[in-house]
Chain A
Amino acid sequence: MEWETVIGLEIHAQLSTKSKIFSGASTAYGAEPNTQACAVDLGLPGVLPVLNREAVGMAVRFGLAIGAPIAPRSIFARKNYFYPDLPKGYQISQYELPVVGRGQVEIELEDGESRTIGVTRAHLEEDAGKSLHEDYHGMTGVDLNRAGTPLLEIVSEPDMRSAREAVAYMKKIHALVRYLEICDGNMQEGSFRCDANVSVRRKGTEKFGTRAEIKNLNSFRFLERAINFEVERQIDILEGGGAVVQETRLFDPDKGETRSMRSKEEANDYRYFPDPDLLPLDIEPAFIEQVRGSLPELPDEKKHRFMSDHGLSAYDAGVLTASREMAEYFEQVAAAVEGQAKLAANWVMGELAGALNREGREITDSPVSAEALGGLLRRIQDNTISGKIAKEVFEAMWAGEGDADQVIEHKGLKQITDTGAIEQVIDQVIADNPSQLEQYRSGKDKLFGFFVGQVMKRTGGKANPAQVNDLLKQKLS
Chain B
Amino acid sequence: MHDKTIAELAADLRDGKVSSVELTGHYLRRIESLDNRLNSLITVTAEQALETARAADAARARGEAGPLTGVPIVHKDIFCTDGVRTSCGSRMLDNFISPYDAGVVERFKAAGCPVLGKTNMDEFAMGSSNETSYYGPVNNPWDTQRVPGGSSGGSAAAVAARLAPGATGTDTGGSIRQPAALTGITGLKPTYGRVSRWGMIAFASSLDQGGPMARTAEDCGLMLNVMAGFDERDSTSLERPAEDFNARLNTTLKGLRIGLPREFFGEGMDPGVARVIDEAIDFYKKLGAEFVEVALPHSGLSVPVYYVVAPAECSSNLARFDGVRYGYRCEDPKDLMDLYMRSRGEGFGPEVQRRIMVGTYALSAGYFDAYYLKAQKIRRLIADDFRQAFEQVDVILAPTTPTTAFRLGEKTADPVTMYLSDVYTIAVNLAGLPAMSLPAGFSQGLPVGMQLIGNYFDEARLLGVAHQYQLGTEWHQMAPAGFE
Interface set of A (CB-CB < 8 Å, partner B): 39, 42-51, 78, 80, 82, 84, 87-90, 140, 142, 269, 271-273, 276-279
Checking B79, B235, B365 against A269 with a beta-carbon cut-off of 8 angstroms, the contacting residue is B365
CA distance A51 to B236 in the complex (A): 12
Q: Is the interface of A mostly helix, strand, loop or mixed?
A: loop
* Docked-complex contact A80 and B316, CB < 8 angstroms: yes
* Docked-complex contact B340 and A82, CB < 8 angstroms: yes
Q: How far is the CB of A133 from chain B (nearest CB, A)?
A: 12
Known pairs A48-B233, A82-B322 / 9 extra A-B pairs, C-beta < 8 Å: A45-B88, A46-B198, A46-B201, A84-B322, A84-B324, A142-B324, A269-B364, A271-B316, A277-B236
**CB-nearest residue of chain A relative to B319?**
A89
Given contacts A90-B319, A142-B324, contact A279 B201 (CB under 8 A): no
The answer to whether the Cβ of B313 comes within 8 Å of any Cβ in the partner chain is: yes
Which chain B residues numbered 305 to 346 have a C-beta less than 8 Å away from chain A?
A: 312-313, 315-316, 318-322, 324-326, 336, 340
How many B residues have CB within 8 A of the partner chain? 44
Which chain B residues numbered 193 to 233 have a C-beta less than 8 Å away from chain A?
A: 197-202, 204-206, 232-233
- Between A and B, 30 residue pairs with Cβ closer than 8 Å are A39-B99, A43-B320, A43-B325, A44-B326, A45-B93, A45-B98, A45-B201, A46-B80, A46-B86, A46-B98, A46-B198, A46-B200, A47-B199, A48-B197, A50-B233, A50-B234, A80-B319, A82-B322, A84-B322, A84-B336, A89-B318, A89-B320, A142-B325, A269-B364, A271-B316, A271-B365, A273-B363, A273-B372, A276-B206, A278-B235
CA distance A132 to B199 in the complex (A): 30
The answer to whether the Cβ of B249 comes within 8 Å of any Cβ in the partner chain is: no
Q: How far is the CB of A148 from chain B (nearest CB, A)?
A: 13
The answer to whether the Cβ of B368 comes within 8 Å of any Cβ in the partner chain is: yes
Residue in A45, A269, A271 with the greatest tally of chain B CB atoms within 10 Å: A45
Q: How far is the CB of B86 from chain A (nearest CB, A)?
A: 7
CA distance A88 to B326 in the complex (A): 12
Given contacts A80-B316, A88-B320, A89-B319, contact A46 B340 (CB under 8 A): no
Given contacts A45-B96, A45-B98, contact A87 B198 (CB under 8 A): no
CA distance A142 to B202 in the complex (A): 24
Interface set of B (CB-CB < 8 Å, partner A): 79-80, 86, 88, 93, 96, 98-100, 102, 197-202, 204-206, 232-236, 312-313, 315-316, 318-322, 324-326, 336, 340, 360, 363-365, 368, 372
**CB-nearest residue of chain A relative to B372?**
A273
Checking B102, B316, B325 against A273 with a beta-carbon cut-off of 8 angstroms, the contacting residue is B316
* Docked-complex contact B235 and A45, CB < 8 angstroms: no
Q: How far is the CB of B316 from chain A (nearest CB, A)?
A: 5
* Docked-complex contact B320 and A271, CB < 8 angstroms: no
Checking A43, A51, A87, A277 against B205 with a beta-carbon cut-off of 8 angstroms, the contacting residue is A277
**CB-nearest residue of chain B relative to A271?**
B363
Chain B residues whose CB sits within 8 angstroms of the CB of A90 once the complex forms: 316, 319
Chain A residues whose CB sits within 8 angstroms of the CB of B320 once the complex forms: 43, 45, 87-89
Q: Which 10 A-B pairs have the closest CB atoms?
A: A89-B319, A271-B363, A276-B206, A276-B205, A46-B199, A43-B320, A45-B201, A46-B80, A88-B320, A46-B201
Q: How far is the CB of A187 from chain B (nearest CB, A)?
A: 29
Chain B residues whose CB sits within 8 angstroms of the CB of A84 once the complex forms: 322, 324, 336
CA distance A39 to B363 in the complex (A): 27
Chain B residues whose CB sits within 8 angstroms of the CB of A43 once the complex forms: 320, 325
Chain A residues whose CB sits within 8 angstroms of the CB of B326 once the complex forms: 44
Q: How far is the CB of B101 from chain A (nearest CB, A)?
A: 10
Chain A residues whose CB sits within 8 angstroms of the CB of B340 once the complex forms: 82
Chain B residues whose CB sits within 8 angstroms of the CB of A50 once the complex forms: 232-235
**CB-nearest residue of chain A relative to B205?**
A276
**CB-nearest residue of chain B relative to A85?**
B324
Q: Is the interface of B mostly helix, strand, loop or mixed?
A: loop
Chain B residues whose CB sits within 8 angstroms of the CB of A271 once the complex forms: 315-316, 360, 363-365, 368
Q: How far is the CB of B430 from chain A (nearest CB, A)?
A: 13
Chain B residues whose CB sits within 8 angstroms of the CB of A279 once the complex forms: 235-236
Given contacts A39-B99, A49-B235, A50-B232, contact A89 B200 (CB under 8 A): no
CA distance A47 to B365 in the complex (A): 28
Chain A residues whose CB sits within 8 angstroms of the CB of B99 once the complex forms: 39, 44
CA distance A51 to B235 in the complex (A): 8
Q: How far is the CB of A280 from chain B (nearest CB, A)?
A: 11
Chain B residues whose CB sits within 8 angstroms of the CB of A269 once the complex forms: 364-365
CA distance A47 to B99 in the complex (A): 11
CA distance A269 to B100 in the complex (A): 34
Q: How far is the CB of A264 from chain B (nearest CB, A)?
A: 12
Q: How far is the CB of B75 from chain A (nearest CB, A)?
A: 12
CA distance A278 to B313 in the complex (A): 13
CA distance A48 to B199 in the complex (A): 8
Chain B residues whose CB sits within 8 angstroms of the CB of A47 once the complex forms: 198-199
**CB-nearest residue of chain A relative to B327?**
A45
**CB-nearest residue of chain B relative to A79?**
B316
Residue in A78, A140, A271 with the greatest tally of chain B CB atoms within 10 Å: A271
CA distance A145 to B39 in the complex (A): 41
Q: How far is the CB of A442 from chain B (nearest CB, A)?
A: 92
Chain A residues whose CB sits within 8 angstroms of the CB of B204 once the complex forms: 276
CA distance A84 to B322 in the complex (A): 8
CA distance A78 to B372 in the complex (A): 14
Q: How far is the CB of A80 from chain B (nearest CB, A)?
A: 5
CA distance A87 to B327 in the complex (A): 13
Chain B residues whose CB sits within 8 angstroms of the CB of A140 once the complex forms: 336
Q: How far is the CB of B97 from chain A (nearest CB, A)?
A: 11
CA distance A285 to B231 in the complex (A): 27
CA distance A51 to B100 in the complex (A): 21
CA distance A82 to B321 in the complex (A): 10
* Docked-complex contact B364 and A45, CB < 8 angstroms: no
Q: How far is the CB of A35 from chain B (nearest CB, A)?
A: 15
CA distance A39 to B198 in the complex (A): 11
Q: How far is the CB of A440 from chain B (nearest CB, A)?
A: 87
Checking A46, A51, A89 against B316 with a beta-carbon cut-off of 8 angstroms, the contacting residue is A89
Q: How far is the CB of A162 from chain B (nearest CB, A)?
A: 34
Q: How far is the CB of B87 from chain A (nearest CB, A)?
A: 10
CA distance A47 to B88 in the complex (A): 14
Q: How far is the CB of A274 from chain B (nearest CB, A)?
A: 9
Chain B residues whose CB sits within 8 angstroms of the CB of A44 once the complex forms: 80, 98-100, 326
* Docked-complex contact A42 and B205, CB < 8 angstroms: no
* Docked-complex contact A48 and B319, CB < 8 angstroms: no
* Docked-complex contact B312 and A39, CB < 8 angstroms: no
Residue in B96, B233, B368 with the greatest tally of chain A CB atoms within 10 Å: B233
CA distance A271 to B316 in the complex (A): 9
CA distance A51 to B80 in the complex (A): 22
CA distance A51 to B233 in the complex (A): 10
Chain A residues whose CB sits within 8 angstroms of the CB of B201 once the complex forms: 45-46
CA distance A90 to B315 in the complex (A): 11
**CB-nearest residue of chain A relative to B196?**
A48
CA distance A272 to B365 in the complex (A): 9
CA distance A269 to B362 in the complex (A): 12
CA distance A49 to B236 in the complex (A): 10
Chain A residues whose CB sits within 8 angstroms of the CB of B96 once the complex forms: 45
Q: How far is the CB of A358 from chain B (nearest CB, A)?
A: 47
CA distance A88 to B137 in the complex (A): 29
Chain A residues whose CB sits within 8 angstroms of the CB of B321 once the complex forms: 45
Q: How far is the CB of B92 from chain A (nearest CB, A)?
A: 9
Q: How far is the CB of B280 from chain A (nearest CB, A)?
A: 35
**CB-nearest residue of chain B relative to A89?**
B319
* Docked-complex contact B86 and A45, CB < 8 angstroms: yes
**CB-nearest residue of chain B relative to A45?**
B201
* Docked-complex contact B319 and A277, CB < 8 angstroms: no
**CB-nearest residue of chain A relative to B101?**
A46
Chain A residues whose CB sits within 8 angstroms of the CB of B368 once the complex forms: 271, 273
CA distance A438 to B1 in the complex (A): 132
**CB-nearest residue of chain A relative to B309?**
A276
CA distance A45 to B197 in the complex (A): 11
Chain A residues whose CB sits within 8 angstroms of the CB of B198 once the complex forms: 46-48
Chain A residues whose CB sits within 8 angstroms of the CB of B206 once the complex forms: 276
CA distance A47 to B100 in the complex (A): 10
Chain B residues whose CB sits within 8 angstroms of the CB of A87 once the complex forms: 320, 324-325
Checking B88, B316, B322 against A78 with a beta-carbon cut-off of 8 angstroms, the contacting residue is B316
